[in-house]
Amino acid sequence: MPRIQPHLFVIFGATGDLTKRKLIPALYSLMQDADVARRCVVLGTARSDWSDERFREEAREALRDNGYSEEAVAKWCTRNLYYQCLGTEGNDYGQLRDRVEQLERHLGLPGNRAFYLSLPPSVYGPAIEGLGDVGLNDSSGWTRVVVEKPFGYDLDSAQALNDQVHRHFDEDQVYRIDHYLGKETVQNLMAFRFGNALFESMWNREHIDRVEITVAEPLGVGGRGGYYDQSGHVRDMVQNHLTQLLTLVAMEPPASMEANAIRDEKVKVLNALQQPDPETDVVLGQYAAGTMDGERVPAYREAPDVPADSITETFAALRLNVANWRWQGVPFLLRTGKRLPRKLTQIAVRFQSAPISLFQSDGAPCVPQNADCEAPPNELLITLQPDEGFDLRFEVKAPGTSPDGAMALESQHLSFSYQDAFGPVPDAYETLLRDILMGDPTLFVRADEVEASWQLYAGLLDADLPVHPYEAGTWGPAAVDRLLATWTSGGPASPPA
């Protein structure tokens, strides 16, 4: 079994939220192997004038918040965490290089380095240049650079950033994060599809009526108003997370489970996707004030750093068509927003109904051979949040007979819960950090992949679309229901159950 090699893990943006909430806990969890922990060292860096001790104290607090024991945490922090202040001009990257080399000499590390850019997106480029200029893009061991989302603001900026990255790093050194790909259920999509012939034989336009992908978030924009208002929900969620989920549902079986074989298939899906027509395939919304859990929540426009006349979307619903032999004509419906009734990330695969229903369903009798009488469709729900698992809806005979003597059907479920079967699932960041340290790029987004997904939404991002208000705590603007009804053959797509 390959193991994590000794390395130096350099975090840019070490004073930030992501470092505290996700990276430090994930690194600590990975370092529970005592042998690994001795030789895996974290160097935090940011502009703030922190000391090693201040960084360790902040990390101790973050780990305490995650329920780890004080004593073990204190030991790890003292032995493994260091901090280097990084200004914005002068020879700061030179000083960073000197500190990296000094730590490696002092601690006997072999020169394996990961640079994690947990920075505001506008600083990715300068950080890449800074690393390249002082030779930190190469070492006696391996060197990897990890770039957080969002990667670019549109197609042009993503291409420019890729060019900048490739001036200093080879593509196989680059790990573009989409943390949805680190979730167990997302990875299990591939295992589910390609490890079970049962479903794969039905995974096509002959048997599937539509696919709905929902990412619903009850929270508002919180303190991220300044960033979010420049970005909007299509850039923040659709272009990356939802599109990644779609590619995993729609991709062909790869030739192998090797990283590039999988990513090749995902890119083929992106290339087969038709750009949505902004007029007919898209509804945007913005949450107004409303009531959630009995409490009034303010409108998006009342959030800090959001202009009172903002027209930034906090909700998007789209219909996409994958124009290839497997999927042509099957609508892929994406729906995502903030201030929706509950947290839910779910892929609903609705199969086609049996051609004729011979049974009574929902109390309505069906006359045998009546072609207008539709049997309820089977549906597979793949839930990523909050309870990771699968749920297959199918029809059974309800006990007894109805008054007219007909056999009646009732929907039942076959359910699988990750938590029940395997216990708590690791956090996505832990999975992704392990893969970075093991040199496995499968769950990271390749340069051509990120550009293809920006290309898909180029027309939408340029369009001047109405942004419909919706009340916080509802499933989005009313315009969605009208639109969904015209999108699908089997009637309006329902809000998630």
Helix (H) or strand (E) holding 339: none
Taking alpha carbons only, the member of 168, 125, 120 closest to residue 144 is 168
The stretch near ligand NDP (CB under 6 A) out of 13-21, 67-75, 348-356, 414-422 is: 13-21
Between 115 and 154, how does the x/- string for binding to ligand NDP read (CB under 6 A)? ---xxxx-x------------------------xx-----
Catalytic-labelled residue, pool 106, 207, 241, 468: 241
Binding-residue pattern over the window 241 to 280 for ligand NDP, x denoting contact by CB under 6 A: ----------------------------------------
Q: Return d(Cα 54, Cα 258) in angstroms, integer.
A: 41
How far apart are CB 123 and ligand NDP at their closest, in Å?
4
Cis peptide before 150 (omega within 30 of 0): yes
From 54-62, 114-122, 260-268, 306-314, give the range in contact with ligand NDP by CB under 6 A: 114-122
**DSSP, res 42:** E
Q: State which residue, 120 or 329, has the beta carbon closest to ligand NDP.
A: 120
The answer to whether residue 455 forms part of the interface with ligand NDP (CB under 6 A) is no
Asked if residue 377 lies in contact with residue 351, where contact means CB atoms within 8 angstroms, the answer is: yes
Place of tokens 């001036």: 167
| Of the residues 7, 8, 10, 15, which one makes contact with ligand NDP according to CB under 6 A | 15
The strand pair at 208-217 and 331-338 is best described as parallel
Please confirm whether the linkage preceding 386 is cis (ω < 30° from 0): yes
13 binds ligand NDP (CB under 6 A): yes
Q: State the number of binding residues for ligand NDP (CB under 6 A).
A: 18
18 near ligand NDP, judged by CB under 6 A: yes
Q: Which is nearer to ligand NDP, 123 or 272 (CB)?
A: 123
Nearer Cβ to ligand NDP, position 18 or 145? 18
Reading the block at residue 260, the tokens are: 């590039």
Enter the tokens of residue 325: 């032999």
Q: Which is nearer to ligand NDP, 71 or 89 (CB)?
A: 89
Phi, psi of 359 (to 5 degrees): -120, 165
Q: Which residue, 14 or 270, has its beta carbon nearer to ligand NDP?
A: 14
- Backbone angles phi and psi of 158, in degrees to 5: -65, -40
* Biggest distance spanned by C-alpha atoms of the chain: 87
Q: What is the distance between the alpha carbons of residues 430 and 26, in angstroms, rounded to a whole number?
A: 5
Looking at residues 32 to 91 of the shown chain, list those that interact with ligand NDP (rule: CB under 6 A). Answer: 46-48, 86, 88
The CB-of-233 to ligand NDP minimum distance in angstroms stands at: 14
DSSP 216-241: EE-S--GGGHHHHHHH-HIIIIIIII
Minimal distance, residue 15 CB to ligand NDP, in Å: 4
- Least spacing, CB of residue 315 vs ligand NDP, in Å: 19
Please name the residue ranges forming H helices in 293-369: none
Closest approach, Cβ 180 to ligand NDP, in A, equals 10
Integer Cα distance of 201 and 197 in angstroms: 6
C-alpha span between 492 and 209 (Å, rounded): 12
Task: Kindly tell me which of 12 and 28 has the beta carbon lying closer to ligand NDP.
Answer: 12
**Shortest Cβ 228–ligand NDP spacing (Å):** 10
Q: How many CB atoms lie within 10 A of CB 230?
A: 12
User: In this complex, which beta carbon is closest to ligand NDP, that of residue 17 or of residue 98?
Assistant: 17
Which C-beta is closer to ligand NDP: that of 6 or that of 152? 152
CB 135 within 8 A of CB 97: yes
| Residue with Cβ nearer ligand NDP (17 or 163) | 17
In the bound complex, what is the minimum distance in angstroms from residue 217's beta carbon to ligand NDP? 12
d(CA 10, CA 42): 6
Report the nearest approach of ligand NDP to the CB of residue 48 (Å): 3
CB of 216 to ligand NDP, least distance (A): 17
User: In this chain, which residue has its C-beta nearest to ligand NDP?
Assistant: 16
Distance CA 333, CA 488 (A): 9
The helix, strand and coil proportions of the chain, stated in percent and rounded to the nearest 5, come to 40, 25, 40
Q: Which residues are registered as beta bridge partners of 411?
A: 395
**Would you call 241 a catalytic residue per the annotation?**
yes
Q: Which residues are catalytic?
A: 241
Residues that bind ligand NDP (CB under 6 A): 13-18, 46-48, 86, 88, 118-121, 123, 148-149
